């Protein structure tokens, strides 16, 4: 039985805190800094582009762009996190 | 990039070298018209990129325009080594007094173009060079100076002691061929035979040109002026679906490089390997230990997860492939963890168990600790540099044979 | 001693603001190499990891205040020849050309000019060279910590047509306690600046180098050139070789291209089989496996395995 399925976020999950999700400035900044387009600026709201999650290169730029705890990158394969 | 004979004629003619009154024809009617225009006996030649046309019946002589048309009709439908002709060349059957050989090609050891000339043309030049060395003249060209006529003269004069009108007429042809080789970035610019007709004039009876692939982008405009299409596929064989799909994935994403070839490979072990030298080494290592690769591949640069996944999926989709070996020489700018994610995702997307499907994962180098963590989560053992390339290939072969 | 590079060796990076160049600049700096400037036309005044960027090589030399020894060129193929000639004409003597897909004619021009001016080109289509612990010139070995893992100072000179295999072989020699004196990724193109035979005299004069390992592939005549050089020079250096791409000799593979631009077989002479025979006849063993290299080298050195 072979099924072809497109799975996103197999290795990486990104948690954006509710409190900063609506921060227009942050939304713009995240879209700019992420080298693999995980973040999109959806009318001033932070949107996570699911299909790019697994491209995360663990550069930490998103974590640093947000206030502490605003953005957390979770490595699903070992449970550790990138957070500030 | 290979050229059809009729295209080579156009190129040679544009360089100021005399060619015959040939006609390039796509139909039997056109061939008839060309033969009428030429008047007299003609030669009808299949226009394919492979050799062996004569033997395959792709070269025929015609005494009348009607015969030319009927030969053309036949030849246009004759497949040679898997290729269908794009047309036929109709040449006047020449009254040849003597045949010569002229070529300009790269001498890699000297790092310069080299001119070759012989007064024994029409046959295999390597044989001539071996058996009649004093009938072959050679000379190198500086890359920094314009092509000097006297060099061409020296080379012609050294070919069987040519002198007189033969020398003075052949010299400019060789010089122009050298200029052509430079102007068109040819790796080979060959005229065999160059014929001397009964009136003493020289004419190129056949021309064989090959342009360096790397130079094609800067030559397209010049070629377009001669109505030579660069986009037309010129492979010696038809690319497979696998090859085409991998190429498409590579071209759609600028991150890193992937390549896949399976022409001539019919095995059951899929190879997801790199980089260039590593791929050659690993393919040898698999074969030397009794393995049968299903394909050749190269991963290079810093590919995205999607690209690595794309290559692995295409390999796994090949008929007869149940398992893959993921192996590379020590990597510096390819990330081990990214490749790991890619190959695992490929397995998941096809509903396959990564641990069952990936016989071995041996990629030491950049981000290897992270890669090891990812693989560990999926039950795949990460092989670092303490496992040699040979050993990794051997393990893969054993696992595939064990299963079969 | 090592060859070509030393502690005081200075170099620039041409095309320094490009993605690959930014990366290798950091790697080289972290390794301790003296990257004294970069050149990208139009970007004068910028900095890449603290390295000043200029519009011209002349400005970089001027800023440095004295001759600059080398350049790493990562400029796209249409502009590489011009960039290399610019360096040559500004007195730079060692030029590593990383760029691939440069038309052969351009390469041949650069190389001929370099010869005339007493300069040396390594590459193109190469990863550079490294003297372990002293200087890394190019992307060879990757980030400094990775390069340190694979390359330990020692007695073996390494020359390879494949960048990745330079590191694989060097790592194998390092693990075996032999180490590397100088490793050079000589490039994968049909025409390159420095062939095995052209580099051998440098290793010959280097007291630190006791043996040579070469990695090679089908295509080209460098092995014949090497064998001829050895015969004529009476070299003291034993050589061990590894040949990749033997499968290309198979009938089904004829006419196909694999690997680098230079790996094109044009006649029987440049096939893997012919080359292996030529090397072995000349007393250069061609091992079957990369992991057999240290053993073969030790045997040549008369050292216990």
Q: What is the pLDDT at residue B142? A: 98
Do A2 and B351 make contact, defined as CB atoms within 8 angstroms? yes
Residue B105 tokens, joined? 């090609």
* Arithmetic mean of pLDDT, C274-295: 96
User: C247 touching B, CB under 8 A?
Assistant: yes
User: For the residues B79-87, what does the mean pLDDT come to?
Assistant: 92
Compute the distance between CA of residue B391 and CA of residue B276 in angstroms, rounded to an integer: 19
Under the banding of pLDDT at 50, 70 and 90, the label for residue A5 is: low
Whether domain C10-301 has CATH 3.40.50.261: yes
Q: Which residues of B touch C104 (CB under 8 A)?
A: 106, 185, 187, 212, 214-215
Q: In A, what residues contact B, Cβ < 8 A?
A: 1-7, 10-11, 36, 54-55, 57-58, 75, 77-78
Nearest neighbour of B351 by CB, restricted to A1, A54, A75: A1
Q: Least CB-CB distance to B351: which of A3, A11, A77?
A: A3
- Per the annotation, the verdict on C260 as an active-site residue is yes
Q: Which residues of B touch C221 (CB under 8 A)?
A: 108-109
Structure confidence at residue A2 (pLDDT): 45
Q: Is the pLDDT of residue C106 over 80?
A: yes
**Is C277 touching B (CB cutoff 8 A)?**
no
Mean pLDDT, rounded, of chain B: 95
Instruction: Please report which confidence band the pLDDT of residue B404 belongs to, taking 50, 70 and 90 as the band edges.
Output: very low
* pLDDT per position as a tens digit, B367-400: 999 999 999 999 999 999 999 999 999 999 999 9
End-to-end Cα separation, chain B, in angstroms = 42
pLDDT at B51: 82
> What residue segments make up the domains of chain A, in order of their start?
16-82
Rounded distance between C-alpha atoms, residue C131 and residue C22, angstroms: 21
Say if residues C250 and C295 touch (Cβ distance below 8 Å).
no
- B349–chain A Cβ distance below 8 A for any pair: yes
Tokens of B208: 């064989």
**Could you give the dihedral angle defined by the CA atoms of residues B339, B345, B348 and B353, in that order, rounded to the nearest 10 degrees?**
20
User: Where does B20-78 show beta strands of DSSP type E?
Assistant: 23-25, 42-46, 59-62
**Which tokens belong to B117?**
């000339």
Select the residue from A52, A60, A75, A77 to test the B interface by mutation, using most B Cβ atoms within 10 A.
A77
The yes-or-no verdict on residue B313 having pLDDT over 50 is yes
pLDDT band for position B124 (cuts 50, 70, 90): confident
Give DSSP secondary structure letters for B200-233.
S-EEES-EEEEE-GGGHHHHHHHHHHTT--SSS-
Q: Residues of chain C with pLDDT > 90: what percent? A: 90
- CA-nearest residue to B303 within chain A is A55
Phi, psi of A37 (to 5 degrees): 55, 45
pLDDT-above-70 percentage for chain B: 100
Q: Looking at chain B, which subunits does it touch, using at least 3 CB pairs closer than 8 Å as the criterion?
A: A, C
Q: Which of A11, A12, A52, A81 to mutate to test the interface with B (most CBs of B within 10 A)?
A: A11
Cα–Cα distance, C127 to C142 (Å, whole number): 9
Instruction: State residue B147's pLDDT score.
Output: 94
Tokens of C98: 């990383």
| Helices B28-38 and B65-76, packing angle to 10 deg | 140
Q: Name the residue ranges covered by the structural domains of chain C.
A: 10-301
How many angstroms away from the CA of C43 is the closest CA of chain B? 24
Q: How far apart are the first and last CA of chain C?
A: 25
Regarding the domain with residue range B241-403, which homologous superfamily does it belong to in the CATH classification? Succinyl-CoA synthetase domains (3.40.50.261)
Closest approach of A40 to chain B, Cα-based (Å): 19
With pLDDT > 90 as the criterion, what percentage of chain B qualifies?
90
- Measure in Å the smallest separation between the Cα of B304 and chain A Cα atoms: 7
- Starting at the earlier edge strand, list the strands of the sheet with C286-287: C135-137, C128-131, C180-185, C153-160, C211-216, C239-243, C286-287
Residue A21 Cα, gap to closest chain B Cα (Å): 27
Query: What integer is the mean pLDDT of A32-39?
Result: 95
* A16-82 topology per CATH: Alpha-Beta Plaits (3.30.70)
C160 CB neighbours in chain B (<8 A) are 277
Q: How far is B337 from chain A (nearest CA, A)?
A: 9
Residues of chain B contacting A77 with CB distance shorter than 8 Å: 373-374, 376-377
Residues of B in contact with A54 (CB under 8 A): 305, 341, 345
User: Given an 8 Å threshold on Cβ–Cβ distance, is B106 in contact with C175?
Assistant: no
- Convert the pLDDT of each residue in C20-67 to its tens digit: 999 999 999 999 999 999 999 999 999 999 999 999 999 999 999 999
Domain with CATH 3.40.50.261 in chain B: 241-403
- pLDDT higher than 70, residue B129: yes
Residue B278 sits at the chain C interface (C-beta within 8 Å): yes
pLDDT at C265: 61
- List chain B residues with CB under 8 Å of C127: 332
CATH fold label, B21-92: Dna Ligase; domain 1 (3.30.1490)
- Locate the chain C residue with the closest alpha carbon to B258: C259
Three-state secondary structure along B232-268? CCCCCCCCCHHHHHHHHHHHHCCCCEEEEECCCCCCC
What φ, ψ does residue B87 adopt, rounded to 5°?
Answer: 165, -170
Strands C120-122 and B88-92: unpaired
What CA–CA distance (Å, rounded) separates C125 from C164? 12
Whether B374 contacts chain A with CB within 8 A? yes
Say if residue C260's pLDDT is above 80: no
Give the helix/strand (H/E) hosting C164.
helix C163-175
**Of the candidates C128, C100, C101, which has an alpha carbon nearest to the alpha carbon of residue C185?**
C128
Could you name the CATH architecture of B96-225? 2-Layer Sandwich (3.30)
pTM of the model: 0.94
| Cβ–Cβ below 8 Å for A57 and B306 | no
Indicate if the pLDDT at residue C114 is higher than 70: yes
The pLDDT confidence band at residue A1, using thresholds 50, 70 and 90, is: very low
Global ipTM = 0.94
CA–CA gap between residue B260 and residue C223 (Å, rounded): 28
Q: How many residues does chain B have?
A: 404
State chain C's mean pLDDT as an integer: 95
Q: What is the mean pLDDT of residues B91-107?
A: 95
């Amino acid at each position: 039985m072979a099924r072809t399925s497109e799975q996103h976020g197999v290795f990486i999950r990104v948690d954006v805190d509710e409190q900063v999700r609506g921060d227009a400035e942050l939304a713009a900044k995240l879209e700019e800094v992420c080298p693999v387009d995980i973040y999109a600026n959806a009318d001033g709201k932070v949107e996570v582009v699911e299909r790019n999650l697994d491209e995360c290169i663990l550069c930490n730029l998103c974590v640093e762009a947000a206030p502490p705890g605003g953005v957390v990158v979770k490595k699903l394969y070992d449970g550790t996190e990138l957070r500030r | 990039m290979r050229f059809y004979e009729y295209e080579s004629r156009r190129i040679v003619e544009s360089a100021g070298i005399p060619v015959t009154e040939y006609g390039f024809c796509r139909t039997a009617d056109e061939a008839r018209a060309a033969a009428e225009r030429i008047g007299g006996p003609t030669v009808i030649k299949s226009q394919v990129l492979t050799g062996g046309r004569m033997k395959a019946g792709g070269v025929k002589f015609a005494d009348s325009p009607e015969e030319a048309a009927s030969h053309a009709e036949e030849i246009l439908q004759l497949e040679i080594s898997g290729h269908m002709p794009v047309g036929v060349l109709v040449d006047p059957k020449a009254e040849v007094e003597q045949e010569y050989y002229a070529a300009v090609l790269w001498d890699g050891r000297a790092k310069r173009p080299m001119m070759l000339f012989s007064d024994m043309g029409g046959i295999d030049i390597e044989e001539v060079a071996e058996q009649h060395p004093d009938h072959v003249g050679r000379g190198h060209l500086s890359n920094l100076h314009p092509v000097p006529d006297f060099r061409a003269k020296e080379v012609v004069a050294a070919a069987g002691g040519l002198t007189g009108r033969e020398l003075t007429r052949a010299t400019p042809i060789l010089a122009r061929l050298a200029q052509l080789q430079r102007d068109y970035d040819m790796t080979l610019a060959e005229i065999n035979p160059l014929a001397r007709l009964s009136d003493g004039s020289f004419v190129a009876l056949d021309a064989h040109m090959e342009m360096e692939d790397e130079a094609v982008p800067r030559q397209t405009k010049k070629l377009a002026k001669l109505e030579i299409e660069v986009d037309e596929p010129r492979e010696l064989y038809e690319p497979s679906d696998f090859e085409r799909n991998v190429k498409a994935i590579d071209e759609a994403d600028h991150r890193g490089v992937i390549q896949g070839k399976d022409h001539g490979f019919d095995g059951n072990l899929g190879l997801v390997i790199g980089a260039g030298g590593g791929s050659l080494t690993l393919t040898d290592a698999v074969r030397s230990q009794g393995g049968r690769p299903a394909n050749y591949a190269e991963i290079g640069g810093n590919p995205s997860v999607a690209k690595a996944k794309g290559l692995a999926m295409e390999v796994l989709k090949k008929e007869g492939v149940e398992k893959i070996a993921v192996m590379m020489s020590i990597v510096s700018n390819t990330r081990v963890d990214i490749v790991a994610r890619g190959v695992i995702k490929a397995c998941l997307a096809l509903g396959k168990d990564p641990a069952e499907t990936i016989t071995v994962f041996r990629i030491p180098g950049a981000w290897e600790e992270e890669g090891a963590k990812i693989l560990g989560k999926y039950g795949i053992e990460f092989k670092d540099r303490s496992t040699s390339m040979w050993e990794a290939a051997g393990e893969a072969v054993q696992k595939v044979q064990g299963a079969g | 001693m090592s060859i070509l590079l030393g502690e005081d060796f200075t170099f620039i990076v041409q095309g320094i603001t490009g993605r690959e160049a930014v990366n290798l600049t950091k790697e080289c700096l972290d390794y301790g190499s003296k990257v004294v400037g970069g050149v990208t036309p139009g970007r004068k005044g910028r900095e890449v990891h603290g390295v000043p960027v200029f519009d011209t090589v002349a400005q970089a030399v001027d800023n440095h205040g004295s001759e600059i020894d080398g350049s790493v060129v990562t400029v796209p193929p249409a502009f590489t020849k011009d960039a290399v000639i610019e360096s040559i004409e500004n007195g730079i003597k060692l030029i590593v050309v990383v760029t691939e897909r440069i038309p052969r004619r351009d390469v041949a021009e650069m190389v001929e000019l370099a010869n005339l001016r007493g300069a040396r080109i390594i590459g193109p289509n190469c990863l550079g060279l490294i003297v372990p612990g002293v200087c890394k010139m190019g992307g060879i070995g990757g980030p400094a910590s990775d390069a340190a893992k694979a390359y330990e100072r020692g007695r073996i000179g390494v020359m390879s047509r494949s960048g990745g295999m330079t590191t694989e072989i060097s790592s194998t020699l390092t693990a075996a306690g032999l180490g590397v004196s100088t490793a050079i990724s000589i490039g994968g193109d049909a025409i390159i600046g420095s062939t095995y035979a052209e580099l051998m005299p440098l290793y010959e004069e280097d007291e630190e180098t006791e043996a040579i390992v070469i990695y090679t592939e089908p295509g080209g005549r460098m092995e014949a050139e090497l064998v001829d050089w050895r015969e004529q020079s009476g070299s003291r250096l034993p050589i061990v070789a590894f040949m990749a791409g033997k499968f290309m000799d198979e009938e089904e593979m004829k006419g196909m291209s694999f690997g680098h631009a230079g790996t094109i077989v044009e006649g029987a002479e440049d096939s893997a089989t012919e080359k292996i025979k030529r090397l072995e006849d000349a007393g250069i063993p061609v091992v079957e496996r990369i992991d057999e290299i240290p053993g073969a080298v030790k045997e040549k050195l008369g050292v216990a395995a």
